[in-house]
Amino acid sequence: MTPQGLQLLYLPPFSIIARFFVTAVFFAFIGSTYLTYQAVKGELLLPPAVHLFTLGFMAMTMIGALFQMLPVVAGVTLERPLELAFAVHVSSLGGVLLLVLGFITGGKASALTGLLLLLASFGGTAAYMLYKLLKAENLRDAPRGFIFALTAFLLGLLTGSSALLTLAGFLKLDYARLFDAHVGFMLWGWTALLVASVSFQVIEMFFVTPPYPRYLTRYLPPAVLALTVLRALIPFVLWDLLLSALFVAYAAVTAHRLSLRRRRVPDPLVYLWYYAVFFLAVSALLYPFKERLFAWFLLSFGLFVLSVISSMMMRIVAFLVWMHLTSQGVPNAPTMFKVIEPSDAWTLFSVHTALIASLVLLVEGFPLFTALFLSAETFLLCCFVLKGVLTYARLRRA
């Protein structure tokens, strides 16, 4: 049975999404290990850890997912996808490592080389995907949202690179304003909006829920992009308040849709989505006060991203392994729940819950426990994603 809205004739090779997802979870583990090291030393150097998560984990996951979703959800054909994915993967991998190394050591050459690689890989790919989407006809709500998210991603790369060049002394621009615009584009216009757009497709498909209301799927993406552009051009607290209201509304609608799912069995991946929309709403409420509460805003937004990517990655990897093996006629291909078993999902959910509970200790001034639970969760995510990828490799060769 083909899930509604998917064009499986255009299903790209599994190796494409596998390389991005495996790299992403390893970057998450490296970032959490680095935070643990800093907690032991009693230090906090945010830029390396933030970019390991935002570029290494988040962007790598999202670009990999778009390689999968554009052909299947939007019917958009990417020419020579294997060669393109290989080039993007290798250059973005090197770019993230060099940029983070530059942040740690203060080396301008390393940071600028990493920036150039990321602009070529992520920026070039985002522009190419945006071009293909703009040429496509009769797009559904999810890929239509991708257009606005990719536009915000390109603007985020532009403002982020300008801020870095200003910090390095190559440009004489307003660094604080560029940084604020960069955060708005990357977190709200790219990350949160892309998650919302993907959810318009996968929430109903994977969790058997009623569809999202049309007013939300049609108007949320252009409204978010417009507000992120407005706040970059004309800083005004009203834009932040409107962004906050939009994402609180989206979080409430998503939670309500999940509560109406027809498959009523307990599912830890659904509960991870509940965590995700809760922390998204908290982040949105904190955002207008980011000047005073920026660290808490980043922490809450990070928990939103970790919750939603953990849930989607576990389900998508299992679904794609089953789908590819079945379409290739592999006898006795495992079902989704055999590729990554429910006990694996419950283990990840339990550690994630412990991570959230450890925030009490973080407030009391004990960050090491939170960092250790984060390391444990990202290690488990590495193990479960690798389990799915290796299951596919083993059975395909059998």
Name the nearest CA neighbour of 386 among 311, 314, 335: 314
**pTM of the full structure:** 0.93
Predicted local confidence at residue 1, as pLDDT: 41
* Tokens matching residue 255: 């939670």
Predicted local confidence at residue 9, as pLDDT: 61
Mean pLDDT score across all residues of the chain: 92
Burial (CB count <10 Å: 0-12, 13-18, 19+), residue 221:
buried
Name the nearest CA neighbour of 280 among 257, 260, 261, 306: 306
Q: Following CA atoms 146, 148, 154, 160 in sequence, which dihedral angle do they give, to the nearest 10 degrees?
A: -110
**Contact, 47 vs 56, CB < 8 A?**
no
Give the C-alpha separation, 32 to 24, whole Å.
12
Predicted local confidence at residue 73, as pLDDT: 85
Burial (CB count <10 Å: 0-12, 13-18, 19+), residue 356:
middle
Name the nearest CA neighbour of 349 among 320, 398, 313, 310: 310
**Number of neighbouring beta carbons within 10 Å of residue 83:** 9
**Contact, 34 vs 48, CB < 8 A?**
yes
Alpha helix positions (H), the chain: 14-41, 46-51, 60-74, 81-105, 108-118, 124-135, 141-167, 175-183, 193-207, 214-233, 237-259, 268-286, 290-327, 336-339, 342-357, 359-363, 367-397
Which regions in the chain score pLDDT beneath 70?
Answer: 1-10, 398
